[in-house]
Amino acid sequence: MLATIRDVSALSPSTSVSEISAADRILEDDLVRAAGSLPLDGDWVMRNTVRAETLRAMSDQDIRDALQSNPQERTGRVQSIFEDLLMQREVAVHDLDERGLEGLLQAIVWLKDVQLTEDVAAAARQRLAWIRFASHFERMAGDAVFFGRVSEMDQLRSHVGVLPPARLLQKIKNLVGKARPALSLSGPGSIGKSALAARFALEHLRIDERVRIPVAYLDFDRADRDIGDPIDPLTYIAPDGDTCLHIAAHRGNLRAVQLLVKAGLDPDRQGDMGYTALHYASTPEVVEFLLGCGASRTIKNEFGKSPVGWKDAE
């Protein structure tokens, strides 16, 4: 019931039985030191197998009683998120910041053997990826550091045509339609070209994803990036374990899926949280193609779900 524990010896049982051994003696073999980069309020966490076995044996009222017996441990953001999942309350994924999303994903890992939280996990991973991507642009041109440059921003907005310009004159000019050539930003060093482009990208990242323009970011300051050695889509593996085939299937890009499979990528390779490309497939055409290539219907992800099971449910 507790995400982490600060003081094991001070834990109180949710029972009226008075003759009970101290919690630190009962739990000494069931706890491990909390590790990782996520800030947690406690130093100890229960082993996942023990937690799952215990929770399966408890009713909702048992869980509430156990929580109420240890109010001193019910602090911190991760504990609050953990309790929301535990009591099957809705978690507002899009209201969480990066740390909150990391806490949510950690809580999901702790409960994955007890509850089906796959949809919440998928939404959290997607939101976290978006926040981390947008953070590059926030650092260069967020609201706290970017000011003015109205004329230049209007020219960019008008050229692309997704967001309206801020100035009336530019709006009138836009009424005269004409083909637009490719646009390049150039100028001496240190005049703010990167900041201008970053602000433009950030504006479009903040609008409804259905009308966003595609935006890519390549960090040439990273030692492992070489402009002369582009990413190989056949060998690239994202930090979460997904391949380009996973990504193409998730986006419903049938042509990309076909090319990647033909080139030799394994449809049954498991990526983030045990997902295969068939788990990710977002269109009937991609599902049909992968099945036609022999993709497994029965491989289970970390939530114990096979791709065909949840695709059929949809």
Q: Give the closest residue to 219 by CA, choosing from 136, 138, 132.
A: 136
More confident: 62 or 220: 62
What structural domains does the chain harbor?
8-116 (no CATH), 244-313 (1.25.40.20)
- 298, with CB counted inside 10 A (0-12, 13-18, 19+), is exposed
CB 21 within 8 A of CB 35: no
What is the percentage of the chain residues whose pLDDT exceeds 70?
Answer: 82
Greatest Cα-to-Cα distance within the chain, rounded to the nearest angstrom:
85
Tokens, residue 137: 């642009």
What pLDDT is recorded for position 17?
Answer: 43
CA angle 87, 90, 91 (to 5 degrees): 105
What pLDDT is recorded for position 177?
Answer: 54
pLDDT average, residue stretch 1-13:
82
- 73, with CB counted inside 10 A (0-12, 13-18, 19+), is buried
Q: Give the closest residue to 113 by CA, choosing from 308, 303, 269, 305.
A: 303
pLDDT tens, residue by residue, 128-179: 888 888 888 999 899 999 988 988 888 888 887 777 666 555 554 554 555 6
Reply yes or no on whether the pLDDT at 269 is more than 90: yes
What pLDDT is recorded for position 18?
Answer: 43
- Average predicted confidence (pLDDT) for the chain: 81
pLDDT average, residue stretch 233-242:
82
Reply yes or no on whether the pLDDT at 122 is more than 50: yes
Confidence tier at 276 by pLDDT (50, 70, 90): very high
pLDDT tens, residue by residue, 75-99: 888 899 998 988 888 889 989 999 8
CB 247 within 8 A of CB 238: yes
What is the pTM assigned to this prediction? 0.63
What pLDDT is recorded for position 96?
Answer: 92
What pLDDT is recorded for position 260?
Answer: 93
What pLDDT is recorded for position 143?
Answer: 92
